[in-house]
Amino acid sequence: MNHNIALSTAFAAALTLGVIADAEAADKRVKKEKCYGVSLAGQNDCSNIAGTHSCAGQSKVDNDPGEWRLVTKGLCKSQDGLTRKEAREVIKRAS
């Protein structure tokens, strides 16, 4: 009986790992795009347009048009996000 439980547990673990690996591989195949002006303070993905920092998590305010996050391609506009060109125009008008 214990042998069957051990085999069942090992089989379930192997299946779970396979499902997780498939999900991660599928996520990497999803096309992404930079979406400006949608990140919350401290939640940007990398450098900003102004070049004042070059690391993720360094944005100071919510929805800064110079900061970006990677989103699934095609979803940026539905989040009221901007392309890089649009973000540059917003920044230029504000200065």
Q: What is the pLDDT of residues 11-48, one digit of tens each?
A: 555 555 555 555 555 566 889 999 999 999 999 999 99
- Same-domain pairing of 13 and 48: no
19 or 55, which is more confident: 55
The residue range of the domain holding 36 is 31-95
Residue 83 CA from chain centroid, whole number: 16
Predicted confidence (pLDDT) per residue in 58-76, tens digit:
999 999 999 999 999 999 9
As a whole number, mean pLDDT of residues 81-90 equals: 97
> Pairing relation of β-strands 32-36 and 68-72?
antiparallel
- Same-domain pairing of 39 and 66: yes
- Same-domain pairing of 17 and 56: no
Burial 61-81 (b: 16+ CB within 10 A, else e): eeebbbbbbebeeeebeeeeb
Total domains, the chain:
2
- Same-domain pairing of 77 and 89: yes
pTM of the model: 0.68
- Same-domain pairing of 91 and 68: yes
| Half-sphere exposure for 50 (CA within 13 Å, toward CB) | 13
Q: Is 18 exposed, middle or buried (CB count within 10 Å of its CB: 0-12, 13-18, 19+)?
A: exposed
- Same-domain pairing of 60 and 22: no
